[in-house]
Chains A and B, each alone.
Chain A
Amino acid sequence: MPLLPAEVERIAELSRLELSDDERDSFRVQLSSILDYVGQLSEVDISEVEPMSHSVPLLNVLRDDVAVGCPEGVRQAVIDAFPERDEDLLKVKAVFS
């Protein structure tokens, strides 16, 4: 079942992605065919099957609750990678407006 144009727009919005008009059309067809393909999973009998989120069974990997510092060089490199800054502070658009 092909996606409707409004559904594509809704997904793009949830994904925080800008699409061009031409992409909106081609993605609608491509995403629909991918969803059709994965739809074959509906024919598998999954009653009484536990979901598997991970292939290696690991539970509660813990460490001591102590802060581990960041080497100064790494800290500076992280700051240098900011797209916009004011000295060591990261500049962003107002979150509440």
Chain B
Amino acid sequence: MQTRGNTLRKIIDGLEAGDWSARELVTAYAARAKDGQKGTHAFVDVHEESALAAAEESDRRRAGGESRSRFDGVPIAVKDNLMVAGHRATAGSAILKDYVAPYDATVVDRLKRAGGIVIGKTNMDEFAMGSSTETSFFGPSRNPWDTERVPGGSSGGSVVAVAEGSAPAALGSDTGGSVRQPAALCGVVGLKPTYGRVSRYGLMATASSLDQIGPITRTVEDAALLLREIEGRDSNDSTSLEIKNEWRLPDSLPTSVRGLRIGLPKEYFVSGMEPGVEAAVRAAADRLAELGAELKEVELPHSKYALAVYYVLMPCEVSANLARFDGIRYGRREPAETLEGTYRRSRGSGFGREVRRRIMIGTYALSSGYYDAYYLRAMKVRRLIANDFARAFSDVDCILTPTTPTVAWKLGEMSDDPLSMYLQDIYTVSVNVAGLPAITFPCGLSEGLPVGVQLIGRQFDEKTILGAAHAYETADGGFGRYLPPEVA
């Protein structure tokens, strides 16, 4: 069967109508995923055997009228920093090259309980640190629009899988833009939920106060479908919250933006953006205005400090979270004469350069004498950034920005210049810093490559940004324009 260009909705409807079985779906997607492993390299591992077994069980349940949910039999790709019991979970790192997950992450458990099928683990920047997937120990993934270019990162593999059609939907994680930036660069939809909406249990922590798991899909409606399956309070994650009634997503998303007040932050439209990106994003804003939305300029005066705040807080949290990878209880151990020598050698050889750079920045910023100047100061500026958004949201219902400053670049172009790579996150990090939800969806092409536009919402108001994005997508004629060329 054809896998390219299928939506989650179509897969679900087809299963219900009996147009295909779960077995047929898994067979087709797994074949496509394995095919791509030598090319676009979306997958680190394809779980063909376990997925086929799960598909057969799903088909039996459906035949007996005992399907667990509408998701029963749906194949999903999962980023390799999420635990899937009995399978490798490497986070793209040499230090976990042979590590097998002992349990399921809560999001994986929820999908499985609904009958969803994990078809494999997707490639990523090592421990989610990077914007291109080039820091993966397994080598980079490639953008299906132009395989000489990066797909973005860190959830690059999940995004490539959805873009090329080796999975109908995927899970990624977003610490500073890791779902949204690659989704924009590959022409798919990516949602970063409000901090606390989705349990992080079983997600390898990069920066605990910023990380959130999010859906990567072909359409906006699909993102809403997948979010509903994974959200909600989990006793294993004390920062996850019960979904209040007013936060719930409606069964069908609105198709009108009439009367919606959309803010355009003037600080985001100054400089540094490629002209083609700016043109597409401005055209998307104008289109929303034609559809009945009201555009208003808003001010987010501390925006220019968001990236600096992020690149203090994130490495500080990274340095603490990655202390557990010491060669003792799991992962790679490189024995030395002393215990400390074992730590240093295991971590030195197990972590790649970008991960070690960030651990060192965090260690330095938290070390005696520097804490106030870096970490404490960054936490204070973090509040100023969150306050800016709170003020803006008293005037508007959501905020529209570019997702990325550029389209996809060539592999290797920025790989040894960490700071210029960090600038890729300039429009996405403040969302994590303030704990807000944001969605990216394609809004045009520049130089033949996809451009994404980002809508940022109030905390737990995913409903509004999904609704507006859905209205835009419907008026824009759907996702058809954003299918990458067929790779031979």
Which positions in A face B, CB cutoff 8 Å?
Answer: 8, 11-12, 14-19, 23, 26-27, 30-31, 33-35, 37-42, 44, 46, 49-56, 58, 61, 63, 73-74, 77-78, 80-84, 90, 92-95, 97
Interface residue from A18, A56, A84 paired with B333 (Cβ < 8 Å): A84
B235, B330, B376, B459: the one contacting A51 at CB < 8 Å is B376
With both beta carbons as reference points, the residue of chain A lying nearest to B354 in the complex is identified as: A30
User: Cβ of B195 < 8 Å from any Cβ of A?
Assistant: yes
Chain B residues, CB < 8 A from A81 = 99-100, 102, 329-330
Task: Assess whether B308 is in contact with A41, with CB atoms less than 8 Å apart.
Answer: yes
Interchain CB contact under 8 A, B378 and A41: yes
Question: Across the interface, which residues of A come within 8 angstroms of B416, CB to CB?
Answer: 26
B347 touches A16 (CB 8 A): yes
Q: Tell whether, in the assembled complex, residue B435 and residue A51 are in contact, meaning their CB atoms are under 8 Å apart.
A: no
Whether the Cβ atoms of A55 and B380 lie closer than 8 Å is no
- Alpha-carbon distance between A44 and B319 when the two chains are bound, in angstroms: 25
State A40–B363 Cα separation when bound (angstroms): 19
Query: Nearest Cβ distance between residue A64 and chain B, in whole angstroms?
Result: 11
Nearest Cβ in chain A — how far from B244, in angstroms? 13
What would be 5 A-B contacts, judged by CB atoms less than 8 Å apart?
Answer: A33-B419, A37-B307, A55-B433, A56-B459, A82-B330
In the bound assembly, the distance between CA atoms of A93 and B185 in angstroms comes to 47
Decide if A40 touches B102 in the complex (CB within 8 Å).
no
Contacting pair B344 A17 (CB below 8 A): yes
Instruction: Assess whether B376 is in contact with A56, with CB atoms less than 8 Å apart.
Output: no
B328 within 8 A of A: yes
How many residue pairs link A and B with beta carbons under 8 A? The number is 176
Q: Please give, as numbers and ranges, the residues of chain A lying within 8 Å of B196 by CB-CB distance.
A: 56, 58
Cβ B380 vs Cβ A82 within 8 A: no
Residues of A within 8 A of B100 (CB): 77, 80-81
Docked CA distance A61–B323 (Å): 25
- In the bound complex, do residue A41 and residue B333 qualify as a contact, i.e. CB atoms below 8 Å apart? no
Is B209 close to A, CB under 8 A? yes
Give complex CA distance A54, B353 in Å: 28
A35 near B383: Cβ-Cβ < 8 Å: no
Distance of A76 from chain B, by nearest CB (Å): 8
- Check if B374 is an interface residue, CB within 8 A of chain A: yes
In chain B, positions 98-152 with a C-beta closer than 8 Å to chain A are: 99-103
- Contact yes or no, A18 B349, CB < 8 A: yes
**Interface segment, one of B14-22, B222-230, B334-342:** B334-342
Q: Take A34-B418, A38-B312 as given contacts and tell me if A55 and B339 are in contact as well, using a CB distance cutoff of 8 Å.
A: no
Q: Which residues of B have CB within 8 Å of A46?
A: 377, 380-381, 384
Residues of B near A53 (CB, < 8 A) are 209, 379
Partner of B332, one of A38, A80, A82, A83: A83
Q: Does B367 touch A at the CB level, under 8 Å?
A: yes
Extra contacts besides A14-B364, A58-B241, A77-B101 (14): CB < 8 Å: A15-B347, A16-B323, A30-B357, A30-B418, A37-B307, A41-B305, A50-B380, A51-B379, A52-B379, A55-B209, A73-B102, A81-B99, A81-B100, A83-B329
B326 and A16 within 8 A (CB): yes
Q: How far is the CA of A2 from the CA of B319 in the complex (A)?
A: 21
Q: Do B344 and A42 touch across chains, with their CB atoms under 8 A apart? A: no
Chain A: which residue is nearest B336 at the CB level?
A: A93
B61 at the interface (CB under 8 A from A): no
Residues of B within 8 A of A92 (CB): 328, 339
Interfacial chain B residues near A49, Cβ < 8 Å: 380-381, 383-384
Decide if A52 touches B382 in the complex (CB within 8 Å).
Answer: yes
The distance from the CB of A9 to the nearest CB of chain B, in whole angstroms, is: 11
In whole angstroms, what is the CA distance A81 to B356 when docked? 23
> Do A55 and B435 touch across chains, with their CB atoms under 8 A apart?
yes
